[in-house]
Chains A and B, each alone.
Chain A
């Protein structure tokens, strides 16, 4: 099985190369076609029109678009995404500094989405045929219609403002230091032996992760329930009943495993969307991740930074899809045969 998975990962990574090239070209062209002037944005307010023109030439903005792209691509392949207009630092180093926080947030959110999604799906399935079914159905649709930023605001005002129960700004309390080892704050706090920092970072992670998790769990919930409905119409479920297995054994031993496949596919897609959903949530919770940085970049027409972050999101989604596909192979024996 390991060989099959390894082959799949290799194939996926090879396929990622042209995808990345297309995405990078699209990203580059779209940004260059926008009516913003990075030359003017990179100069102070006292610059004259002549100085802006000189800057445009210096930045290569007067060259043909394909030439500009090839220069940028060549630099990007060497790890050089250019210097951020707003921050004056290497765009790549800014992404590297903020990416761990976003991964940590997205990971925590996905865990919560999986818990709520699986738990809710099983509950919905369990309540089938009862008068609760209609109610839970409406509730799940209602939850499905609430986007992550709205969850963010709701949770912030309920748990942050009204109840004063959880913090909602930053990644750790103002009176605590932020250790830097791997960039992942929870891990770093443990590595330096600061349990107080770990506890604080954990508390700061709860609300943003919950906002994202709650926004993405209803889809998982509903797909799991539908899959379970389908699976329960299969012959092997009836045969399991005839063999005298309890409903619990049937659910956990047979139905859930098969119903998990479409759910896993959906979760993979959702995780990609969830990763980009961190953007607004990070702004609302002042979480120092890549989404927060992206908002700055867009606001300031910081093209090098937008390109670096955009490509990073693309790579992240491709990696997530590769992991999901690998899991799919692990869970589905039919795919292993092929």
Chain B
């Protein structure tokens, strides 16, 4: 039997108001480990073809992994999944803080939620199981207020995952927050909660899962944490993660041409580089480390803008928020971007999609597709920080008209407002593209087009890190790349496949991918997985586990309606070159063939479906459809 997991999940049926625990066979963990793998397994097992994202039959699954509770830096993550409101296929997202560890301490590996409550509820989970509790008094409150009310009622030991007004009102990229600092950000899982009349899930447990070799885990953690701290201490202050968080990335991405500027139409935004991220982050936003439990790198920050129209105290923006709400909208006012980001968090809007839809709206306004009659009188010009803030409120409230349409995503808004505005909707499969520019490294294009875990996504497959962060996977054969290969398709299929599988093992274990920027590597990951589970896996066993999960996700994509054409319907914007900067003149020509090459590398057929040979090689006959 695999150790480090409970072999139990909690099932909650909101329609019936019932809950019970269910035993999970050991073979499922040996196949899919936990986290993302468990999410995929339960969708495969319970959520049939034809299920819509807002149907009561949709499942919302929150899952821990064998590393949850191991007290290793990065092991505070947890994964959640469902059929997503934007892409309408299986999706998942991960958050951190302490919620996942608390859930596992309740003696379960996952919560599988089905049905729809007759009136607003929240779910309380403890050692004693689940209670479905009335949330009428919380409905209509923002996500943070909901957490405060539930903590006041249940006690501070309870961790809360809640959604805000945008989730209640089914914005298709509504997120779920926990601890006012971490988010199931992408893919609209907050709207899935809203569709179930589910405001929050609160968890607290006292049980410790048995690991295969607890002493070995302690020994690994001690050495690992020392190494990570030592390498941080050698960096100058302006590159120390605890000081700057992910905001440091803007300055390092600019010379690579990786930033999204003006809805991905421009290469450079010097005012943004000067004002967004880096030292100004600390000086203007008074950023202080706000670490997740056990984390030694401490990338989350608490910020405080002391005065002015954008005064607030709370979560500091991450790189993606700076990029999508700042650079992509030509807003260089750091306080405004931070304030708008926190406003989005409180409404429960994903700042990546939000930045994408606002960029589409600003370009539509510039080109006359939208007028002040559409924008509630707001002057939605590029760089207008106040306009950005006002539109966040309109979208968060789901104000009828443009605010409502922008909550549906930029492709839906473009289809509604027409006039050729789909040409600048930087999205595919219904979901906006995150802040990694396809022109800076072509592998990003391949990654977004072929992603199976959560549609187009920058961290369910993060092959862009090969170039933007020099992250390699030497244990899996990726030990050497040249800078010029950014613009080559050679080896792209193999590299992209391995990074997808890599993300799947990280998200199933469950661990934090940001640890890799502080020297965490696949040898570290395998060491702690083996110590936790007793599996004695090799690196090839680990990679194959990732490949099985990827294959299961692909099977689910097909079940929920994926078509080959979806992979080739990528945003037109990336095929328009920019005329300056490091990626001047670069566009991912050859992408169509690269997608077909990726299919072949994956042992998918020319239609993009897993071949019988692949299914047989992975021993997945029972899962094929």
A and B part of one assembly: no
